[in-house]
Structure 1
């Protein structure tokens, strides 16, 4: 922003009412030189002018038939429709929304840290417009052009829910930080709902992925293979080189990287939605189990039991885990006989920690619910013996103390003798 325009803004604070009338900028956009403009135009990038500065904007459209990994963009609309037909209460539910209400958002920055020293140089978004997915990317040509960058971005968003990948912790706080520095010159940040898919991906696939980076989820879950992609850690260096030399060659690679990130969010939201609603016919037993656990923590007990029952037959690790989890669902609803039946099975077949917990739960049920003190003593002693035999092993992680079990046994024996 020029000194002249800054002074014009200050006139309202210094002079008369006449002085307070807004003074239009007198710099013509035709006088602003955009380096390598023809190269940008060939890549569907055009300048967005504001006063004596500009940012760059790229727009691209995709048909709903186009595939991105294992999903077409049209299946995103099917996922939103499925949520609107579902009675599952879930943090990622799009119930009450139309597909057009969601926008998928990602940034590129000069560093991974927070604070005012970190600059966003690319704001990317995509959403459904009619029968197309429309991508729009706002590019910072140099650090002094943040006002047109954010003005361009904020003028083009009108949605109720933002979808990101780790955006709650990184992208959106960064936007808010930069916006605070510019808020007198740009529109307000609108309020949004926020679907952060990072935490969902971590919950669903931490059993198979060492790191829950978006690129890993793309490759191992969504079937998306990137070709000639620029690694994200190189983006700041490439951007600084672009600021110095103005040549967009390297920046075009970052723009493509950001484009794939955003499109992958659409496929990932679709996949997570189908997983949670159990509409994915290729869903693995472990994924079904993780969905059941997630629904259970949300209080969706009926849906959780449906998931656990689906994989509870047999002796696989997923089946045993499902039966173990089902016992706790029955406990929540005071179905003591059903819970005891499942815990008896796990006490014989499960892993050591599952056996131990099952025996303790059985001791509680037989003492307080089924009123069979003899069985309660038997399972309490069985748990105590397990702890002695596995001292320093898996049982140490459960924070169950031998002294507590001993006190339970003493109390049960005293109660048994009184009877």
Structure 2
């Protein structure tokens, strides 16, 4: 409880008159204010004023000291050049030819996890790459009534030339900023337009099948070899902020300030780590499944050169049969016009697995019918696929995807049977042409 509250509660016992009460409370407020500034100063924060309101701001440079740190600027510069050289400016990780110091590695701490109007941001942190080190800036909301000063301090530092890099920022952090800005926009400049890279989406593409979760701390531990020690989890942020508001002691926030600082610096290394895997920079160690999911990502973006590179690397580095890898490489090779190459990959997909995907049989049937003009061979492929499915599957628990493939096989078998009947003069197949 603050001294002001204690004095007011003791008013009747002390028998203070109104003038004395006002004088004492005024002195207490001044003492509290001075103590508050001193406490914030101990945490490295300085007051920031805007339109009669006060917020707090902290800037800190982390010099490039370790070997890993010293490589950061050079590696990030290399990544920037690769995005340009490879013509990949539309890739979700490309920062559109921005300078390195225009990258804003961004995170917030809030009083709740919802995106509702009652949720308040009380800490905004971001890191920039400077020549001398990683610069971390943090803005702290002294109290909710000073929100204009708090957001103004951030907007003063942020422009349309910057490029935001966050972790779940597209779904959570930035919508929160927009929501809070909407409440007081008459007092503030408008929010600038800017590019935004969300690394959570990237992490999920690469690692959701491998890691226990894609929380930033988990990704740090497993992929960046960064184990946090005595970290205050972000879920504690609301409790700590309300404690600070009640006690007026900024030291309650020390742990969450440190957590936010670590978050924004980790984003620098995570962005670098993912890009190095994408470009196989200096043969960056990458697991077979990482290669596979990177290839899938590039293929969906129609970046076929890099998709092919990673599918092949996935197959080469896998130490067990990888039917799905050969199948996807076959599909890509077919898309690129190499039908014979595609057929060899599909055949290898069959050889790699005793129960290959129905899609492998369908693709081989298509090639046999349309490229080789071999109707009987096409029919056998389709029939084999259907027979395999019938033997191994419970027909009452069929996924929508499998049902679609079975429908394809049935139609294909019907059409091919008719072709064979005409060609062979009344050819008959067993099991009613493979119909259910």
Deviation at 1:350, TM superposition (A): 2.8
Deviates more, 1:227-236 or 1:84-93: 84-93
The residue number in structure 2 matching 1:37 is 37
Work out which of the residue numbers 408, 414, 421 in structure 2 matches 1:417: 421
The aligned runs of 1:283-294 (5 Å cut-off) are 283-294=286-297
The residue number in structure 2 matching 1:9 is none
1:408 aligns with 2:412: yes
The residue number in structure 1 matching 2:334 is 331
Kept in 1: contact 2:277–2:285 (CA 8 A): no
Q: Distance in 2 between matches of 1:209 and 1:142?
A: 38
Alpha-carbon spacing, 1:67–1:53, altered in 2? closer, same or farther (3 Å): farther
The residue number in structure 2 matching 1:54 is 54
The residue number in structure 2 matching 1:299 is 302
Q: Distance in 1 between matches of 2:292 and 2:173?
A: 31
Q: Distance in 2 between matches of 1:251 and 1:285?
A: 42
Q: Distance in 2 between matches of 1:404 and 1:137?
A: 57
Deviation at 1:294, TM superposition (A): 0.8
Q: What 5-or-longer segments of structure 1 have no aligned partner?
A: 1-29
TM-score by length of 2: 0.83
The residue number in structure 1 matching 2:123 is 122
Q: Which has the larger radius of gyration?
A: 2
Deviates more, 1:201-210 or 1:124-133: 124-133
Aligned length: 389
The residue number in structure 1 matching 2:366 is 364
The residue number in structure 2 matching 1:167 is 169
Deviation readout 1:189-212 (Å, 9 max, x if unpaired): 111100000000000111211211
Deviates more, 1:308-317 or 1:252-261: 308-317
Kept in 2: contact 1:65–1:74 (CA 8 A): no
Q: Distance in 2 between matches of 1:417 and 1:70?
A: 72
Q: Distance in 1 between matches of 2:350 and 2:404?
A: 16
Deviation at 1:321, TM superposition (A): 3.1
Matched residue of 1:125: which SS? strand
Q: Distance in 2 between matches of 1:326 and 1:164?
A: 32
Kept in 1: contact 2:277–2:284 (CA 8 A): no
Deviation readout 1:86-110 (Å, 9 max, x if unpaired): 3335210135122112111100000
Q: Distance in 1 between matches of 2:227 and 2:317?
A: 36
The aligned runs of 1:199-238 (5 Å cut-off) are 199-238=201-240
Q: Distance in 2 between matches of 1:185 and 1:34?
A: 27
Deviation readout 1:99-136 (Å, 9 max, x if unpaired): 11211110000001012110000011111233332111
